[in-house]
Amino acid sequence: MSVFLWNAFTFVIALGLLVTVHEFGHFWVARKNGVLVKRFSIGFGKALFSWRDRQGTEFVIAAIPLGGYVRMLDERIDPVLPQFADLAFNHKTVWQRMAIIAAGPAANFIFAIFILWLMYLIGVPEAKPVIASVQPQSIVADAGVRANEQIVTVNGRTARDLRSTNLLLVEQLGRSQLTLGLLATDSGQQREVQLNVADWQFDPERQTVFASLGIELQQPRATTELALVVPESAAARAGLQVGDVIRQIDGEPVNDWPTLERLIQQNAEQNLQLEISRAGQSMRLVARPELVTRDDGFSQGMLGIHPVVTPWPEGILYTQRYGVIGAIGEGVSQTWQLTRLSFAMVAKLLTGDVSVKHLSGPISIAQGAGDTASMGLIAFLAFLALISVNLAVINLLPLPILDGGHLMYLVVELIRGKPVSEKAQEIGFRFGALVLLMLMGIALLNDISRL
């Protein structure tokens, strides 16, 4: 299956599942409150499959798998006979209507907890955030952070593993100071350092949050030993072979893969004098990198080689696994962390601490679904939990077209004692639709620019 088809398939599965969960929340609570649900649709447009249950609800799987909806009996939309008025949504109390609206996002939060519970019941591979080296004149170097220290807290919050540490650091964007709790792996001593992050620049498309601070973690590392030489490439024509270790390029020592990659990329169509080690013997070769143009239009040199990657350092990897009860607590804790981060990112978008160029749309989500599904069940489940929380948070935003906007109107009705006028609601819905379409357009353009 091609990458495109795989991404599309996993995207439809992931989105369909999350939308079903969300709409089922509305459906279930509506039924519990005596509202007649006329249609439960997964997707939009032409119905591909449909059936009815005993209570008259039509269940539909539609042709466009980009959302869904639950249509309830409502006098503002449908003509309702007097004897069926008590089945209409608009005849329910404000609290009942609020419960029905809030049930969609609530279902996504509960689903995230369930997914994370399942993950921690199976066992989640994790890595400790242990520092391998510190980049000179970086934010962490100025704060006195040292190699072989493990990050254990970020602004007082526990950082147990690499993934949670990454989320906690991203959450601190926009602050002027950041406190790291560090554990020396050799002595076991703990200390805290203050990082000045007023000028912290982080571009998630180009670097990790750790690299943006000047941290290199203990993790698999690409070496200058060759694991693959692409047939008929510039490297093959130069005589390079699998197992060769590149020591120097034009007399400049090459001790790591990033240095090697940089020298190759910067010297397209230039003869490079290579000093290599082959089976313990030193040799000299001449290689001429080909000029290639990337999808983004940027041109660079390429030899056609891939490095040997070292295994994880000893003691870094471990598995987090809990019993039935313990996994519930962990699922709740991780869902809360994702929720807090999601709301924080929305706030940072509004304040400008995070650029709108980092918004992701359906293409990026599809790529994420495909990549994580390829990595295995645990990675795909983690992706589902993240997107489920994001879907809940987005729907709770106070935009009239979203669940949060409907809740906002109901809160106003609760305070005033009467509904918001239909004219005011219509204006609000138009404004909300405009804002949402604008954000979706930006996200889609971002997706296209990343292709």
Q: Assess if residue 113 is contained within a domain.
A: yes
How far apart CA 8 and CA 365 sit, in angstroms, is 10
What does the alpha-carbon distance between residue 144 and residue 193 come to, in Å, rounded to a whole number? 7
Q: Which domain holds residue 423?
A: 3-33+92-122+381-450
Same domain, 192 and 272: no
Instruction: With beta carbons less than 8 A apart as the criterion, state whether 35 and 100 touch.
Output: yes
Phi, psi for 426 (deg, rounded to 5):
-65, -45
Both 304 and 316 in one domain: the answer is no
Are residue 165 and residue 271 in the same domain, yes or no? Answer: no
Rounded-to-10 torsion of CA 402, 406, 409, 411: -120
Per-position b or e across 352-389, b if 16+ CB within 10 A of its CB:
ebbeeeebbbebbbbbbbbbbbeeeebbbbbbbbbbbb
Residues 11 and 100 in one domain: yes
Residue 373 within any structural domain of the chain: no
pTM of this prediction exceeds 0.75: yes
User: What's the number of domains the chain is made of?
Assistant: 3
In the block, residue with structure tokens 């698999």 = 220
- SS3 category, 312: coil
Instruction: Kindly give the confidence (pLDDT) of every residue in the chain, 451 residues in length, as a single tens digit, with 9 standing for 90 and above.
Output: 466 677 777 888 888 899 999 999 999 999 999 999 999 999 888 888 999 998 889 999 998 887 889 999 988 888 877 878 888 898 899 999 999 999 999 999 999 999 999 999 999 898 999 999 998 989 999 999 999 999 999 999 998 888 889 888 888 888 889 999 999 988 889 999 999 988 888 877 677 888 889 999 998 888 999 999 999 899 999 999 999 999 999 888 888 888 888 889 888 889 999 999 998 899 999 999 998 876 555 678 889 999 999 998 888 999 999 999 999 999 999 999 889 888 888 887 777 766 656 555 555 555 555 656 666 788 888 889 988 998 999 899 888 888 999 999 999 989 888 888 888 888 887 887 787 777 667 655 655 554 5
Could you tell me if 151 and 212 lie in one domain?
Answer: yes
Is 346 inside any structural domain? Answer: no
Residue 278 within any structural domain of the chain:
yes
Choose among 358, 447, 345, 353: nearest CA to 397. Answer: 345
Say if residue 243 is in the same domain as residue 162.
Answer: no
Identify the burial level of 435 via C-beta atoms within 10 angstroms of its C-beta, where 0-12 means exposed, 13-18 middle and 19 or more buried.
middle
In this predicted structure, what is the pLDDT of residue 342?
A: 85
Integer angstrom CA distances of residue 427 from 209, 399, 405, 418: 41, 11, 12, 18
Q: Looking at residue 448, what is its pLDDT?
A: 55
Question: Distances from the Cα of 27 to the Cαs of 41, 108, 291, 337, in angstroms?
Answer: 11, 13, 57, 27
Same domain membership, residue 112 and residue 135: no
Residues 96, 20, single domain; the answer is: yes
The answer to whether 404 and 395 are in contact (CB under 8 A) is yes
Known catalytic residues are: 23
CATH code of 213's domain = 2.30.42.10
At 225 the pLDDT is 92
Last residue of a domain, one of 281, 309, 337: 309
| Domain membership flag for residue 428 | yes
Residue 34 has a CB neighbour count (10 Å cut-off) of: 12
Residues 295 and 315 in one domain: no
Single out the residue of 50, 48, 44 nearest to residue 68, CA to CA.
Answer: 44
Strands 222-229 and 190-196: unpaired
Same domain for 110 and 13: yes
Same domain, 96 and 215: no
Domain end point (choices 309, 333, 349): 309
Of 295, 320, 345, the domain-final residue: 320
DSSP state string for 61-130: EEEEEEEEEEEE--TTTS---GGGGGGSGGGS-HHHHHHHHHHHHHHHHHHHHHHHHHHHHH-EEEE--B
273 membership: H or E segment, kind and range = strand 272-278
